[in-house]
């Protein structure tokens, strides 16, 4: 999921401000653009994204493989991927920010009508039951059947960046951003009742087969891309693609993970 981290070494002269649709984010964009100027994204050294985590994920997809780091400032609902919003000293903060390389998941899903769907996800790929009846899933990792049948509400394949989101709410583990791991987390497992998930290498190919799909239909979502009535979902890390994410050194990803785990 992630690669080497370090301080931003490039000279930062041009910044592009982008904002979510909320009035709070748009007002912040107008104020910051007035103070610092705003370049078109294709001419900027850094992209400053104003909003919440959902908007940050959209920005990471938008600037995937562009080589432009994205620095988020929290002007939304959830801001785990964002830095604190402050107007003063922005250029100094950008110069000192740590840059982390993150890679998305690549998902291929086959729906009941035979259509093949492809999507990427920076947070997670999540399968979920579409009706009142629990899903029945088979889990195969690198061609080896690991779980013949799981009866559950669903299953999450989470990246380190996504491990603090839906995965954590489903009692999955939080993964350091530079750990070469993915979290495989069941949602309300009924059988096997004691299985609480697994950590798998980020180089693994994970295939989930939907059993009894007519009676127990299942949908899947790769971040915000949703597909219904799937027969099979294959997930692996896209090792050819990367986005650059920036954090303030005093509130970097490691600190966020520690703080999150000691909340009560």
Question: Is 164 annotated as ligand-binding?
Answer: yes
Question: Is 153 annotated as ligand-binding?
Answer: yes
Quick check: 111 and 231 in contact, CB under 8 A? yes
Question: Is 54 annotated as ligand-binding?
Answer: yes
- Closest by CA to 158, choosing from 123, 187, 127, 189, is 123
* CA dihedral angle for residue 229, residue 213, residue 170, residue 70, rounded to 10 degrees: -30
**Residue recorded with tokens 């896209």:** 238
Question: Is 111 annotated as ligand-binding?
Answer: no
Question: Is 124 annotated as ligand-binding?
Answer: yes
Which one from 42, 53, 65, 212 is the annotated catalytic residue?
53
Question: Is 167 annotated as ligand-binding?
Answer: yes
**Residue recorded with tokens 């690198």:** 142
Question: Is 165 annotated as ligand-binding?
Answer: yes
- Closest by CA to 130, choosing from 230, 233, 235, 234, is 230
Question: Is 209 annotated as ligand-binding?
Answer: no
**Residue recorded with tokens 């999507």:** 119
Question: Is 169 annotated as ligand-binding?
Answer: yes
Helix (H) or strand (E) holding 57: helix 53-62
Question: Is 115 annotated as ligand-binding?
Answer: no
Quick check: 181 and 201 in contact, CB under 8 A? yes
Look up 45 and say whether it is catalytic.
no
Tokens of 209: 């087969």
Q: Residue positions in the annotated binding site?
A: 53-54, 123-124, 153, 161, 164-169
Give me the active site residues, please.
53
Q: Residue positions in the annotated binding site for NAD(+)?
A: 53-54, 123-124, 153, 161, 164-169
């Amino acid at each position: 999921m992630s690669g080497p981290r370090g301080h931003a070494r490039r000279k930062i002269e041009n910044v592009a401000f982008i904002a979510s649709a909320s009035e709070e984010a748009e007002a912040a964009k107008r104020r910051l653009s007035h103070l610092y100027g705003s370049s078109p994204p294709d001419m900027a050294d850094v992209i400053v994204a104003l909003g919440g985590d959902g908007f940050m994920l959209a920005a990471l997809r938008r600037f995937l493989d562009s080589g432009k780091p994205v620095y988020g400032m929290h002007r939304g609902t959830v801001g785990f991927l964002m830095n604190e919003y402050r107007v003063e000293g922005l250029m100094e903060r950008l110069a000192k920010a740590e840059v982390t390389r993150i890679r998305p998941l690549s998902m291929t899903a086959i729906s009941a009508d035979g259509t093949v769907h492809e999507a990427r996800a920076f947070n997670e790929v999540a399968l979920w039951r579409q009706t009142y009846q629990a899903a029945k899933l088979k889990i195969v990792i690198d061609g080896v059947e690991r779980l013949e049948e799981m009866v559950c509400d669903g299953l999450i394949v989470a990246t380190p960046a996504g491990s603090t989101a839906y995965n954590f709410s489903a009692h999955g583990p939080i993964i350091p951003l530079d750990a070469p791991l993915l979290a495989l987390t069941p949602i309300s497992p009924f059988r096997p009742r004691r299985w609480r998930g697994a950590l798998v290498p980020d180089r693994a190919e994970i295939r989930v087969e939907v059993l009894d799909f007519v009676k127990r239909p299942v949908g899947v979502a790769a971040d915000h891309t949703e597909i219904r009535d799937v027969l099979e979902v294959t997930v692996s890390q896209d090792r050819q693609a990367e986005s650059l994410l920036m954090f303030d050194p005093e509130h970097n990803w490691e600190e966020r993970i520690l703080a999150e785990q000691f909340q009560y």
